Amino acid sequence: MPEVCDTALEVRDLTRTFGVRRALDRVSFDLPRGAFLSIFGPNGAGKTTMVKVLTTLTSPSSGSAKVCGLDVVQDAVELRERIGLISHNPLLYPDLSAEENLLFFAEMYGVDDSTDRVRELLVSVELDHRRLDLVRTFSRGMLQRLSIARALLHRPDVLFLDEPYSGLDPHAMDIFDSLIAQIREDHTFVMISHDLDKGLELCSHALILARGRVVLAAERAAVDSEQFKHTYRATVGLGVA
Amino acid sequence: MRQFKAILRKDIVMELRTKEMVTSMGIYAMLTLVIYQVALSQSGAAFDPRRIAAGLLWLAFVFTSMLGLNRSFVHEKDQGCLEALLLSPVDRPVIFLAKAIGNLLFLVIVEIIMIPFFSFLFLQQGSYQGEFWMIPLSLLGGSIGIAGVGTMLATMSVNTKGKDFVLAVLFIPLMYPLLLACVSATTAGVLGGDGHIQQFWTGMAAIGAYDAIMIAAAWALYEFILGA
Ligand SMILES: Nc1ncnc2c1ncn2[C@@H]1O[C@H](COP(=O)(O)OP(=O)(O)O)[C@@H](O)[C@H]1O
Ligand SMILES: [Mg+2]
């Protein structure tokens, strides 16, 4: 059993540059365990870059970030066991079946009871009847549900969601919401969203990024929705770093 | 080891399903060999195509493998699968080793198709005095280096725009020493004659040294290449 840690995220002066462009510019904030953080910001604000750094896919240029007390650079391998990512890309192999995809990732994560675990997740995302079909034949909504199953395989503590709603129809969104609601209790969430109402409704903490900088970081209870929307709209004019 | 097997098995299952790499490489290799044969058809009786046959075989094989290796990361890239792989708690060199071994396997299958065809086209005329076993052995030695370097470059090209270009530009210069040794060793097998045993083993030793150096370098650099 991995040690329990009260702080899910600990970000200090995190900076990531691409050439002269600062995608993240001295970003600092904390997030307690079990919280739901919604990250807002215009296109190019650095949201995806932040999630990539926190999920060890990109290294920081300077500053530090810890997830569950594990440093994104030093403890990368251990950290990866504790996190899951659902992005707008499904991150699944089109030429493998749903079941083969999940079994493959279960092997990669060293999930013990892989066959049972895969079956259990396929049932919970309502894809059990399609488990033998190639992923390339799946609809966008089905892909997204299978991504959830993939991200949950190894029972991670922190789930990152990068614009999970993009490309989903309203019905698929509802299914997605109810799946998230089912697992809300046991996980810390970090979600990037363009939908202000939805993002605010779900979250316990909110963060607005613009041009790589933190414009606002606050607990949900402490922000007024109208004021928040106003602040958000003001950042959209700021454009890209 | 568990992760290594999982990646390798996945690549083999996907290749068996799509047959993308092996078919495209196999057809390309055969066509190239046929074209060489046609190109040499007017060279006259005084010219013995066997003197350059080993070089032609390698020419065909190098271009074929460039074609195939470029494809080997396409499916990782397609739906962001490489990210999914990188998200899992696996040491980066394990990914390299699994992908390289998978690629080597596909290259060897292509060689198995190529060699009979090659000997049919180029080794039939007159009496064959070389030692045939040297040909597959030198091809195998060369493919290890090609799979290693090719896998490394294909990974780089995933993160680069205009990706085919990276592999094409860097592949040949990096391959140059290996190719010299390979052509020499294969020529010994094709022609036979004085000192061919010596020539073969000198070539093979150079191939072995190259393979070892390149694999060590790729192993050490892989984390960096992926993180670029
Ligand atoms: N791999 C990369 N190479 C160069 N620039 C990048 C790269 N990734 C992101 N950027 C730049 O960093 C900035 C932030 O991008 P991103 O994090 O994707 O924004 P968001 O997800 O908020 O829309 C943008 O200006 C983008 O062009
Ligand atoms: Mg983004």
Name the pLDDT band for B57 (thresholds 50, 70, 90).
very high
Q: Which residue of B has its CA nearest to A60?
A: B227
Take atom 27 of ligand 1 and give the residue whose Cα is closest. A44
- For B62-73, how does the pLDDT look when each residue is reduced to its tens digit (9 = 90+)? 999 988 888 777
Domain annotation covers residue B45: no
Average pLDDT, chain A: 91
Residues A98 and A130: beta-carbon distance below 8 Å: yes
What is residue A194's predicted lDDT score, i.e. its pLDDT?
Answer: 87
What's the CA gap between B227 and A60, in Å, rounded?
Answer: 11
The residue segments making up the domain with residue B117 are 2-40+50-227
Q: What is the mean pLDDT of residues A133-155?
A: 93
Query: Among residues 16-55 of chain A, which lie with CB inside 8 Å of chain B?
Result: 55
- Tell me which residue of A167, A171, A192 sits closest to A37, measured CA to CA: A192
State if residue A48 touches ligand 1 by the CB under 6 angstroms criterion.
yes
CB-based contact A149:A102 (threshold 8 Å): yes
Length of chain B: 228
Q: Quick: pLDDT tens for B88-123.
A: 999 889 999 999 999 999 999 999 999 999 989 888
Q: Residue B45 — pLDDT band, cuts 50, 70, 90?
A: confident
Residue whose C-alpha is closest to residue A54's, from A42, A67, A39: A67
Predicted ipTM?
A: 0.86
pTM (two decimals): 0.89
Asked if residue B189 is part of any domain, the answer here is yes
Across the interface, of A80, A85, A91, the residue whose CB is closest to B79 is: A91
- Report the nearest-CA residue for atom 2 of ligand 1: A18
Tell me whether A152 touches chain B (CB under 8 Å): no
Sort out which chain A residues have CB atoms less than 8 A from B93's CB and list them. none
Task: State how far the Cα of B80 lies from the Cα of B89, in Å rounded to an integer.
Answer: 17
Question: How much is the average pLDDT of A138-156?
Answer: 93
Reported confidence tier of residue B47, pLDDT bands at 50, 70, 90: confident
Q: Decide if B3 touches A, using CB distance below 8 A.
A: yes
Q: How close, in Å, is residue B19 to chain A by CA atoms?
A: 11
Distance in Å, CA A42 to ligand 2 centroid: 9
pLDDT value of position B76 = 77
**pLDDT tens digits, B13-38:** 999 998 888 999 999 999 999 999 88
- pLDDT digit string (tens) for B156-197? 877 666 666 777 788 889 999 999 999 999 999 998 888 889
Say if B205 falls within a structural domain.
yes
At A189, which helix (H) or strand (E)? strand A188-192
Structure confidence at residue A237 (pLDDT): 66
pLDDT of residue A241: 47
Q: B84 in a domain, yes or no? A: yes
Is A149 within 8 Å of chain B by CB? Answer: no
- CB contact B81 to A (< 8 Å): yes
Instruction: Please indicate if any CB of chain B lies within 8 Å of the CB of A94.
Output: yes
Q: How many domains does chain B have?
A: 1
Mean pLDDT for A53-71 is: 94
Q: Cα–Cα–Cα angle for A81, A82, A88, nearest 5°?
A: 95
A85-131 tens-digit pLDDT: 999 888 999 999 999 999 999 999 999 999 999 999 999 899 999 99
Compute the distance between CA of residue B211 and CA of residue B206 in angstroms, rounded to an integer: 9
B159, part of any domain: yes
Q: Do the chains contact at B88 and A108, CB–CB below 8 Å?
A: yes
**Dihedral angle of Cα B200, B202, B204, B205, to the nearest 10 degrees:** 160
pLDDT over threshold 50, residue A1: no
Examine the pLDDT at A82 and tell me if it is beyond 90. yes
Does residue B152 form part of some domain?
yes
Residues in chain B with CB shorter than 8 Å from the CB of A83 are 87
Q: What would the DSSP string read from start to end of A93-110?
A: -TTSBHHHHHHHHHHHHT
Task: Pick the ligand that lies closest to the CA of residue A42.
Answer: 1
Q: Does A96 contact B75 at a Cβ distance shorter than 8 Å?
A: no
- For residue B69, what pLDDT is reported? 85
Residue bearing the bigger pLDDT, A105 or A223: A105
CA distance B83 to chain A (A): 7
Ligand 1 centroid vs A174 CA: distance in angstroms?
Answer: 29
Using the Cβ of A85 and the Cβ atoms of chain B, whether some distance falls under 8 Å is answered with yes
